């Protein structure tokens, strides 16, 4: 007797190259089988007919340190019910504030949580002060020690390389982040935007496997596009070298104009993340599903958007085995989606809008085999 059968849906699992009608069987919190005409009784059945079934989404860029970072939101209110069963905090905490993120958030929330450690001691602590602008807050050794003590949940090193946030320190914060990442064998996540040095100089410092977030922001000076709207040669070179480009929509880092130009030149993001935080959760992001729906509108296929928010993030950072997949024995984290045919106005971070006719809506969420919420039965 299985615990759960999800039946009748179209299953998308990039790890198995699967996009076809199939059932999902769950037993003891794990995926027992995925396929058509699977025999066996189940205690509970969710009828997903006409819906899409995916691994629970993995959001590579969120901010979930509520109450300590001014960006913080509560993962169990804004991620899990919206189909994101795993979220990665992108640098809300540095070595000085990480113990609290671990004890009071990661270990308490039901959403599976991981983190990029900010290279600066206090992490993203105040709107008014650049977190990496004071060299007293840059302590490579403490960052390394914090990674070593928390390897089960720290999956990378974060740096926001923006004028205001690094002050007069130039590229030192990024170079420090790379030193921490090199020593601990982790990727760096680099936040771009209003950089004090040309973007291509920053990219040249990155190593294969490092991640650029806010890739599709609107910018003249330092976006991925040059002033003529062409992808900068240094960006193509960086991708060639194995540097990954993440979305991180947020409240200031996604532009429809940039996205349309980049996609027209065949430059697709490697991962699609939300940068969900206090200033984006009430719009223009709301949730990761909104960002995926925007990319559907922009012409990506369902396979492409689901892959970039399930398997791809697990290839960018190392998470527990099986997350982001529906492989046999993987944690039974599943999201069920309706693609609703309804008029919707999508807004980017510049206030530009697009009128679309469909959007993804999560109608059921399963985590570790438990039905977290369901509009189905
Ligand atoms: Zn962020």
Report how far ligand 1's centroid is from the alpha carbon of 191 (Å).
Answer: 8
- Give dist(CA 327, CA 336) in Å, integer: 16
The answer to whether residue 323 sits within a structural domain is no
The answer to whether residue 322 sits within a structural domain is no
Do 112 and 48 sit in the same domain of this protein?
A: no
- Give dist(CA 83, CA 287) in Å, integer: 9
Do 12 and 129 sit in the same domain of this protein?
A: no
Report how far ligand 1's centroid is from the alpha carbon of 82 (Å).
Answer: 19
Report how far ligand 1's centroid is from the alpha carbon of 56 (Å).
Answer: 21
Residues 6+ apart with CB under 8 A from 157: 116, 117, 118, 119, 143, 147, 177, 178, 180, 181, 184, 186, 187, 188, 189
The answer to whether residue 211 sits within a structural domain is yes
Range(s) of the domain holding residue 336: 2-54+328-374
- pLDDT number for residue 255: 97
Report how far ligand 1's centroid is from the alpha carbon of 52 (Å).
Answer: 29
- pLDDT number for residue 195: 81
∠ CA 91-246-17, nearest 5°, is 120
The percent helix, strand, coil of the chain (3-state, each to 5) is 25, 30, 45
Final residue of a domain: which of 316, 348, 365?
A: 316
pLDDT values of the chain reduced to their tens digit, one per residue, 377 residues: 999 999 999 999 999 999 999 999 999 999 999 999 899 999 999 999 999 999 999 999 999 999 999 999 999 999 999 999 999 999 999 999 999 999 999 999 999 999 999 999 999 999 899 999 999 999 999 999 999 999 999 999 999 998 889 999 999 999 999 999 999 999 999 999 888 789 999 999 999 999 999 999 997 677 999 999 999 999 999 999 999 999 999 999 999 999 999 999 999 999 999 999 999 999 999 999 999 999 999 999 999 999 999 999 999 999 999 999 999 999 999 999 999 999 999 999 999 999 999 999 999 999 999 999 999 97
Report how far ligand 1's centroid is from the alpha carbon of 236 (Å).
Answer: 23
The answer to whether residue 137 sits within a structural domain is yes
Report how far ligand 1's centroid is from the alpha carbon of 156 (Å).
Answer: 14
CATH code for the domain in which residue 26 is found: 2.30.40.10
Do 366 and 334 sit in the same domain of this protein?
A: yes
| Residue found by looking up tokens 């599976």 in the block | 112
Report how far ligand 1's centroid is from the alpha carbon of 9 (Å).
Answer: 34
| Residue found by looking up tokens 């960018």 in the block | 316
Strand, helix or coil for residue 113 = strand
CATH code for the domain in which residue 215 is found: 3.20.20.140
Report how far ligand 1's centroid is from the alpha carbon of 261 (Å).
Answer: 23
**Can you give the pTM of this predicted structure?**
0.98
C-alpha to C-alpha distances, 369 to 24, 31, 187, 334, nearest whole angstrom: 11, 8, 31, 8
- pLDDT number for residue 222: 77
Beta-strand relationship, 52-55 and 10-13: parallel
- Cis check for the bond before 329: say yes or no (omega within 30 of 0): no
Do 346 and 239 sit in the same domain of this protein?
A: no
* Cα atoms in the 13 Å half-sphere on the side-chain side of 83: 27
Do 216 and 348 sit in the same domain of this protein?
A: no
The answer to whether residue 321 sits within a structural domain is no
Do 36 and 63 sit in the same domain of this protein?
A: no
Beta-strand relationship, 23-27 and 30-35: antiparallel
Task: Name the DSSP class of 157.
Answer: E
- pLDDT number for residue 298: 98
Residue 249: name the closest of 196, 319, 298, 199 by CA.
298
Q: How many domains does the chain have?
A: 2
Do 337 and 227 sit in the same domain of this protein?
A: no
Report how far ligand 1's centroid is from the alpha carbon of 276 (Å).
Answer: 7
Report how far ligand 1's centroid is from the alpha carbon of 30 (Å).
Answer: 31
Do 130 and 41 sit in the same domain of this protein?
A: no
Report how far ligand 1's centroid is from the alpha carbon of 61 (Å).
Answer: 6
DSSP output for 43-105? EEEEE-TTSEEEEPEEEEEE---TTTSTT---HHHHTGGGTEEEEEEEEEEETTTHHHIIIII
Do 33 and 109 sit in the same domain of this protein?
A: no
Report how far ligand 1's centroid is from the alpha carbon of 138 (Å).
Answer: 19
Strand, helix or coil for residue 350 = coil
The answer to whether residue 364 sits within a structural domain is yes
Do 47 and 188 sit in the same domain of this protein?
A: no
Task: Name the DSSP class of 120.
Answer: B
DSSP output for 176-239? HHHHHHHHHT--EEEE-SS-SS-HHHHHHH--TT-EEESTT---SSSSSB-TTSPBPHHHHHHH
- pLDDT number for residue 220: 63
* Cα atoms in the 13 Å half-sphere on the side-chain side of 234: 15
C-alpha to C-alpha distances, 309 to 2, 58, 250, 274, nearest whole angstrom: 28, 6, 16, 10
Report how far ligand 1's centroid is from the alpha carbon of 124 (Å).
Answer: 9
Report how far ligand 1's centroid is from the alpha carbon of 285 (Å).
Answer: 12
The answer to whether residue 138 sits within a structural domain is yes
Do 218 and 71 sit in the same domain of this protein?
A: yes
Region class of 308: left (phi > 0), else alpha (psi between -120 and 50), else beta: alpha
- Give dist(CA 331, CA 315) in Å, integer: 17
Report how far ligand 1's centroid is from the alpha carbon of 62 (Å).
Answer: 6
Do 29 and 112 sit in the same domain of this protein?
A: no
Report how far ligand 1's centroid is from the alpha carbon of 250 (Å).
Answer: 7
Final residue of a domain: which of 268, 283, 316?
A: 316
């Amino acid at each position: 007797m299985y615990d759960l059968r999800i039946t009748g849906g179209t299953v998308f699992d990039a790890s198995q190259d699967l996009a076809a009608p199939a059932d999902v069987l769950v037993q003891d919190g794990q995926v027992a089988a995925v396929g058509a005409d699977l025999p066996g009784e189940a205690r509970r059945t969710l009828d997903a007919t006409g819906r899409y079934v995916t691994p629970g989404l993995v959001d590579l860029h969120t901010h979930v340190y509520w109450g300590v970072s001014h960006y913080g939101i509560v993962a169990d209110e804004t991620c899990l019910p919206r189909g994101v069963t795993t979220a990665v905090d992108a640098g809300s905490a540095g070595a000085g504030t990480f113990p609290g993120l671990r004890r009071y958030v990661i270990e308490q929330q039901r959403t599976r949580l991981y983190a990029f450690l900010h290279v600066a001691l206090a992490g993203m602590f105040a709107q008014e002060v650049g977190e990496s602008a004071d060299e007293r807050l840059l302590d490579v050794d403490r960052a390394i020690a914090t990674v070593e003590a928390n390897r089960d949940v720290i999956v990378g090193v974060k740096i926001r390389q923006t004028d205001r946030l690094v002050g007069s320190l130039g590229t030192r914060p990024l170079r420090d982040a790379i030193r921490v990442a090199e020593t601990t064998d982790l990727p760096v996540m680099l936040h771009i935007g209003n950089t004090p040095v040309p973007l291509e100089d920053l990219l040249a410092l990155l190593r294969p496997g490092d991640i650029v977030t806010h890739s599709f922001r609107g910018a003249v000076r330092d976006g991925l596009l040059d002033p003529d709207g062409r992808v900068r040669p240094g960006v193509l070179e960086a991708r060639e070298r194995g540097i990954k480009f993440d979305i991180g929509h947020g409240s200031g880092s996604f532009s429809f104009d940039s996205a349309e130009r980049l996609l027209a030149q065949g430059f697709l993001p490697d991962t699609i993340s939300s940068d969900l935080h206090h200033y984006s959760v009430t719009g223009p992001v709301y949730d990761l599903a909104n960002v995926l729906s925007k990319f559907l509108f922009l012409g990506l296929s369902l396979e492409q958007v689901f892959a970039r928010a399930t398997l791809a993030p697990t290839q960018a950072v190392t998470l527990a085995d099986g997350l982001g997949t529906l492989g046999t024995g993987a944690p039974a984290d599943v999201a069920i989606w309706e693609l609703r045919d309804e008029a919707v106005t999508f807004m980017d971070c510049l206030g530009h809008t697009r009128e679309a006719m469909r959007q993804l809506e999560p109608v059921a969420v399963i985590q570790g085999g438990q039905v977290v919420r369901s509009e189905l039965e």
